Amino acid sequence: MTSLSNLKPRPGAKHRTKRLGCGESSGHGKTSGKGHKGQKARSGGSIRLGFEGGQMPLMRKMPKRGFNNTRFREGFLPVNIGRVGAHFEAGATITPKDLISAGLVPNRQGIVKLLSVGEVAKVLHFKGVAVSAVAKAKVEAAGGSVE
């Protein structure tokens, strides 16, 4: 039987660390696997991501025309209906500020959207919240309302 006291990694999963600069017979002596000279052989010698040896990089070659909406789009802050039901008492009127103060939604810019994951057993009234069609049906079936 497996327990915490007899857990161990699978055979072949753990390797010995490569010991660099420990003599020629180790296979990693002299240049320590870095070859001879050049930028990558020096200490701190690494080239940045996307660098192509002075050639115009592909990212700078690509045309950047047209409109892109990512800076201006409204982000949704999703919250599941099951979690809301657990935090509020029956008959409560719930606004986005209530959901933020309860810690169900992060305090960020965006539209709070109620999703249908979970069940609603209480009568809840939502105000100023975007709601999915299935979530709206669940709230109204439980006797609540959505404005």
The C-alpha atoms of residue 114 and residue 111 are separated, in whole angstroms, by 10
Q: For residue range 2-56, list pLDDT tens digits in order.
A: 899 999 999 999 998 889 899 988 889 999 989 999 998 999 888 999 999 999 9
The alpha-carbon radius of gyration of the chain (Å, integer) is 29
5, part of any domain? no
Residue 98 CB neighbour total at 10 angstroms: 20
Per-residue pLDDT, 109: 81
- The confidence band for 59, taking pLDDT boundaries of 50, 70 and 90, is very high
Q: Is residue 1 part of a domain?
A: no
CATH of the domain at 107: 3.100.10.10
Residue 123 structural domain: 76-146
Position 112 in a domain = yes
Q: How many domains does the chain have?
A: 1
Q: Put the strands of the sheet holding 111-115 in their side by side order.
A: 76-80, 111-115, 130-131
Tell me, yes or no, whether 125 lies in a domain: yes
Domain-embedded: residue 133:
yes
Residue 117 placed within a domain: yes
Q: 47 in a domain, yes or no?
A: no
Residue 92 has pLDDT above 90, yes or no: no
The reply to whether 7 falls in a domain is no
Dihedral through CA 15, CA 17, CA 21, CA 23, nearest 10?
-50
How far is C-alpha 90 from the geometric centre of its chain's CA atoms? 33
What is the rounded CA–CA span in Å between residue 92 and residue 140?
14
